[in-house]
Chain A
Amino acid sequence: MTSISPPRGESFTLSKLINDTRYRSYTFQFIALVLLIALFAYLGSNLAQNLRDAGLNISYGFLSEPAGYDINQRLIEYDSQSTHLRASIVGVLNTLLVAFLGCILATVIGVVVGVLRLSQNWLIRKLMSVYVEIFRNVPVLIWILIIMAVFTAVLPQPRDFRGDDAEASMLWDAFAFTGRGFYFPKPVFETGSTIVVLTFLASIIGIFVYRSYARKQLFQKGRLLPVFWPSVGLFFVPAVLMFFIAGRPISMEYPSLQGFNFQGGIYARNSFISLWFALSIYTAAFIAENVRAGILAVSKGQTEAAASLGLRPNRIMNLVILPQALRIIIPPLISQYLNLTKNSSLAIAVGYMDITGTLGGITLNQTGRAIETVLLLMLFYLAISLAISAVMNVYNNAVKLKER
């Protein structure tokens, strides 16, 4: 031990920074750090100098000026007289909407495909392999464009619904599937509808309470309660009863063809649907592989042990395999969610006005503030990605193996 520790009394000399292995790595790390800082300082001062030479400055004043352009899909109040900042927020919300729905759909498709890739059925197994290989090996931009092109070319346009012997007709007079997007009936909440909504929310809480009660019964007393049908019943029955008791306070607004377009109802634009669907099926192909890898990583002995206890195959999957596989699946799943969110910046290819389309597109173009808007964009994507990781890491901690 004594031979390793430095001999006492020996004074520190400068040459030791290079020659002594104890200090050498610190020396080089320090030099590298200084060089890195100098590089960024040089780039920063170069930028500032060049902007000065060109008579430009960094200013975010444009954010409070009127934007002057319209946005088709807006989740909050917005018109062309609103500020660039508000236009950016509209874009942020559009990005979040497509990213959130995309993550959900991608997870559903991905898990189903991942499980089916391990099916005993040869045809299903091979079909799923073909799906995965096709979708993950073609760039997502191409998928977005293809789906949009097929969408507009195949589906009838509003003009085809016009006239007495129209080429196309609405489904049950409530749904219209057109090349410009889908139109759905929209619920209209009138006075007295609050109680129905509250009942519905209460029954959703009830479902969770019942499920945890059923689980407790299973674990403590070994009694297996039915879960699926009671849940379905709880979901519909109280709300429907309350709807009639309160005197039908919720009505439906149906879309109808007026003028150039369908009016009324909920309108999901073709750009939104194409982008959402393309991002989902593309990312789902990757998630399917993560799921398959996670399941395969659970030892086959687990399946055999569960089977020997008399569990049926779907119970084995739900109770034994998936809970263990989840621990392996979730970390790469986070990356896929981040990828999907960042890939949503390709939205402008189909004219979907996300943050890249509003702040990084039209605002950048009309104000010419390229550096400011790109910095803001980077900040936004960084923040949203870190937020997704944070939430998913909380979930990861909840399902990971707890060592007692």
Chain B
Amino acid sequence: MKKTVILGALTIAGLSAGAAAAATLDDVKARGKLNCGVTTGLVGFAAPDANGEWQGFDVGVCRAVAAAVLGDPTAVEFVPTTGKTRFTALASGEIDLLARNTTWTFSRDVDLKFEFVGVNYYDGQGFMVPKSLGVTSAKELDGATVCIQTGTTTELNLADFFRVNNISYEPVPIETNAEAQPLYLEGACDVYTTDASGLAATRAAFENPSEHVILPEIISKEPLGPLVRHGDSEWGDIARWTLNALIAAEEYGVTSANIAELANGTDNPEINRLLGTEGTLGEMLGLDAEWAKRAIMAGGNYGELFEKNIGENTPIGLSRGLNAQWTEGGLLYSPPFR
């Protein structure tokens, strides 16, 4: 048993070197499928629907990359990962891209040798409590039992928050969001904490969402984004610029509805370069000219993905907030396509 662990570790180390050396783009093309790491199930971000099809905001990123690279948004193998297994899965080459609301931090980027290709959701850690407790602020949580997903940044933020405010708490570590829900609902913990978007998604899945409140305190910065391995900058560029294409498309008003028309050529050179009717941006990436067009057609631009999966008209009901375009007071700002 123990011997298999070390052999497993050796294999993983071996795979990681092998995968880092080879070009991921060629591997994906040869395989004909993109292996994309997602959560084990968080409604709105990544969860299988009634037909077993993966749906969600993070899933949209996977599909856009698959459409850009392989020309088929359905050519994705979704690999569910937990907070603990996600980095090993990416480092070992089991997945090509990790789109699992993962916080971009210095140590993950530098020490764990990953490359974050951007931010697709600006989030922060929040707290959810049952309304019946009558709590209105996180600072009133002295002595509370807090359910928390282990292996995430939330665990460290939580320890800092309670230490700085000099109040005590009882952490209950759990592995996945699915395990946390029954514990929280049965009252084994008073508070559930994770990223505010995750709280909204979790609450939406409850029988009576209105019986739970999300406290106003946001105790951390959680820029969530997709990431790839260090050592293959070409593949990192593809993922980065696919995400940027989705964001830029919203800024320029390119939607899945009007894209066919705009792809015939417009008088805006920026849109023309994005959609491949002008310039050779696709070629520079090692793809064809219509890569961005396909990525946008896969699920719409950033705004469409947001509205369809987690926006105000969905059960999750998140407002754009920080995730609005820079032109509308948000933080989304794609570098220029030129």
Contacts and interface: CB of A to CB of B under 8 A. Distances in A.
Given A72-B171, A362-B173, A47 B145 contact: no
B191 to A, nearest CB: 9
Interface in A343-388: 348-349, 351, 353, 357, 361-362, 364-368, 370-371, 374-375, 378, 381-382
Contact of B10 (A43, A342, A364): A43
Given A270-B188, A361-B151, A378-B5, A68 B159 contact: yes
B175 A349 contact: yes
Interface string B127-151: 0000011000000011111000011
B158 A153 contact: no
A152 interface: yes
A365 B188 contact: no
B338 interface: no
Given A157-B187, A159-B187, A180-B188, A351 B6 contact: no
Interface in A40-54: 43, 46-47, 49-51, 53-54
Contact of A179 (B17, B155, B188): B188
A348 to B, nearest CB: 7
A357 B10 contact: no
Interface stretch (B83-91, B239-247, B269-277): B83-91
A3 to B, nearest CB: 46
Contacts of B231: 54
B23 interface: no
Q: Is the contact region of chain A dominated by helix, strand, or loop, or is it mixed? A: helix
Nearest to A156: B187
B160 interface: yes
A126 B68 CA distance: 66
B259 interface: no
A9 interface: no
B16 A54 contact: yes
Interface residues of B, number: 56
Contacts of B174: 351
A80 B17 contact: no
A348 B151 CA distance: 12
B13 A348 contact: no
B159 A69 contact: yes
A55 interface: yes
Contact of A157 (B5, B173, B188): B188
Contacts of B169: 70
A64 to B, nearest CB: 16
Given A81-B163, A258-B143, A382 B2 contact: yes
Contacts of B13: 46-47, 50-51, 54, 371
A79 interface: yes
Contact of B6 (A180, A260, A342, A374): A374
A174 interface: no
Contact of B159 (A80, A259, A361): A80
A50 B14 contact: yes
| Residue picked from A54, A179, A367, most chain B C-beta under 10 Å | A54
B17 A49 contact: yes
Nearest to B142: A259
A378 B14 contact: no
Nearest to A154: B186
A369 B305 CA distance: 36
A261 interface: yes
B156 A366 contact: yes
B267 interface: no
A368 B109 CA distance: 11
Contacts of B133: 159, 260
Contact of A357 (B9, B12, B173, B189): B173
A56 interface: yes
B190 interface: yes
A70 B171 contact: yes
Nearest to B111: A368
B171 A261 contact: no
A67 B301 CA distance: 41
A263 interface: yes
A234 interface: no
Contacts of B211: none
Interface string B1-45: 110011101101110110011000000000000000000000000
A46 B10 contact: yes
A270 B174 CA distance: 13
Contacts of B163: 79-81
Contact of B150 (A43, A362, A382): A362
B194 to A, nearest CB: 15
B150 A361 contact: yes
Contact of A54 (B10, B17, B171, B173): B17
Interface string B81-122: 001100110010000000000000001100111000000000
B129 to A, nearest CB: 10
A365 B84 contact: yes
B183 A152 contact: yes
A55 B113 contact: yes
9 contacts: A55-B113, A56-B113, A70-B159, A79-B163, A152-B182, A153-B182, A180-B188, A180-B189, A361-B84
Interface of B: 1-2, 5-7, 9-10, 12-14, 16-17, 20-21, 83-84, 87-88, 91, 107-108, 111-113, 132-133, 141-145, 150-151, 155-156, 158-160, 162-163, 169-175, 182-183, 186-190, 230-231
Given A54-B20, A152-B183, 13 more contacts: A54-B13, A70-B158, A152-B182, A153-B186, A157-B186, A158-B187, A159-B187, A180-B189, A261-B144, A365-B87, A366-B151, A374-B9, A382-B2
**Closest 6 interchain pairs by CB?**
A157-B187, A80-B159, A50-B17, A365-B151, A260-B144, A50-B13
